[in-house]
Amino acid sequence: MTLSTTGSQALFDRARTVIPGGVNSPVRAFGGVGGVPRFIDSAKGAWLTDVDGNRYVDLVCSWGPMILGHTHPDVLAAVTAAAAKGFSFGTPSENEVALAAEIVDRVEPLEQVRLVSSGTEATMSALRLARGATGRSVVVKFAGCYHGHVDALLAQAGSGVATFALPDSAGVPASAAGETVVLPYNDLAAVEELFAVRGEEIAAVITEAAPGNMGVVPPEPGFTEGLRRVTAAHGALLISDEVMTGFRASRSGWYGLETGPTGGNPGGYAGGAPDLFTFGKVMGGGFPAAAFGGRADLMANLAPDGPVYQAGTLSGNPVATAAGLATLHGCTEGLYPRLESTARTIADAASAALSAEGVAHRVQWAGSMFSIFFRDGQVRSFADAQAQDTRAYGRFFHAMLEAGVHLPPSAFEVWFVSDALDETALDTIRAALPLAAKAAAAA
């Protein structure tokens, strides 16, 4: 039996006439797995309902933000109340102060944050600030790390870029990419060699705090600490991109895990905190809100007080900030052990099903974030991540979808869990796995 997808197919056909590729963000087009993307009509708790009335357990969670589950009653109430008071003022308002204070309070090295509307804007602005503050122009990033579709950072980026096997993007001038140096992830020797030669030109090193956009590839012990040491020695800034890990890996993001007593990579920031952080996803609660921040002396370089210009018509939007604040209020200490236990349950069940069919795979973790690579052996870098069986993943993905489980439509993405995944949802996942593993084995 196959699910009816006539409604999704009709909308996709129509979408392709008025929207390039039929989607407003490439990975949604199912290019990595084939087939018709499901057009979702509504979502509640752990479940998505598409326009044909099919229901799916959601393991994408809008790529992270829906950490409490869809249309959570507290967030819905906060959004409704905020919207009733006005949609956008173009003036300062109270919610943005409360959200900024909540973020500053959670991540110890932060003294100030500036709110923006997307993770891309956050990393773009953090780069401009780093270049403005140092008077240098070269930026270092790592292969497989995705920092949004900023010109200078669209080089060997993971995520949708990996899914579509684009080495780069057309439309990015050589001059923009020419100021970017891409190094292999987890390779501190490569960083040291580069700095020994070009250290005086480098404004910043930007890294995902724990990469999730090539699948989960956590920093090895000493890597983050080494980045801090090398950048500090040469007067360059270290930018930790926590757009995905922020308030998902722990209450204080990956920073909290690295510095906390358990888990992660304790002592990773023993050499000092990053200079700048970027956030998005969870902190917007499903609405467009993101942020970048750091020490007050560094942030003072931003307009209106300093010379680095940065602005936004909808920045700090009252409805988006209300959603973000209500979501963060739900992101208590107690949430993370629950998420981790749910994630373990799913990962263990998937791993057992794949093992039973002899499908090569590897599960990797960053807090409650995990992904499954369709290959054996440790994945330390983008090159390792690319050496997996994406065709087997495609078969696995479609069998899961057919059985009512919506996984990320790419082998290079995190399986995102929410607090709304109850026993019924977990049973649906468990029931779907054996056939999906068989499909992967047959690929």
Ligand X SMILES: *Cc1c(COP(=O)(O)O)cnc(C)c1O
| 206: its two tokens | 């930007």
| CA torsion through residues 364, 58, 359, 184, sign | negative
| Residue showing the smallest CB distance to ligand X in the complex | 119
Cα separation, 426 vs 416, whole angstroms:
14
Report the chain's C-alpha Rg in angstroms.
21
Part in contact with ligand X (CB under 6 A); list of ranges 146-154, 293-301, 361-369, 375-383: 146-154
Contact between 99 and 321 under an 8 Å Cβ cutoff? The reply is: yes
Contact between 346 and 426 under an 8 Å Cβ cutoff? The reply is: yes
Query: Judged by CB under 6 A, which of 219, 256, 264, 280 binds ligand X?
Result: 280
Query: Judged by CB under 6 A, which of 54, 95, 112, 118 binds ligand X?
Result: 118
Query: Judged by CB under 6 A, which of 148, 286, 293, 294 binds ligand X?
Result: 148
| CA torsion through residues 24, 27, 28, 30, sign | positive
Cα separation, 281 vs 288, whole angstroms:
8
**Distance in Å, CB of 119 to ligand X, minimum:** 2
Written in H, E and C, the secondary structure of 58-86 is ECCHHHCCCCCCECCHHHHHHHHHHHHCC
From 56, 146, 185, 269, active-site residue? 146
Residue type at position 179: E
Of 285-344, binders to ligand X (CB under 6 A) are 290
Whether the ω angle into residue 304 lies within 30 degrees of 0, i.e. cis, is: yes
Query: Judged by CB under 6 A, which of 27, 210, 237, 243 binds ligand X?
Result: 243
Beta strands in 51-189 (DSSP E): 55-58, 112-116, 138-142, 180-183
Part in contact with ligand X (CB under 6 A); list of ranges 112-120, 299-307, 340-348, 415-423: 112-120
From 50, 255, 269, 281, active-site residue? 281
Question: Considering beta carbons, is residue 96 or 389 the nearer one to ligand X?
Answer: 96
Of 210-239, binders to ligand X (CB under 6 A) are 213
Query: Judged by CB under 6 A, which of 39, 146, 254, 396 binds ligand X?
Result: 146
Known catalytic residue: 241? Answer: yes
Query: Judged by CB under 6 A, which of 123, 240, 259, 368 binds ligand X?
Result: 123
**Distance in Å, CB of 355 to ligand X, minimum:** 29
Residue 58: exposure state from Cβ atoms within 10 A (0-12, 13-18, ≥19): buried
Of 183-212, binders to ligand X (CB under 6 A) are 208
* 3-state SS class at 377: coil
Examine residue 274 and tell whether it contacts ligand X (CB under 6 A).
no
Question: Considering beta carbons, is residue 31 or 148 the nearer one to ligand X?
Answer: 148
From 50, 58, 241, 384, active-site residue? 241
Size of the site for ligand X (CB under 6 A): 15
Which chain residues interact with ligand X by CB under 6 A?
118-120, 123, 146-148, 208, 213, 241, 243-244, 280-281, 290
Looking at the annotation, which residues are catalytic? 146, 241, 281
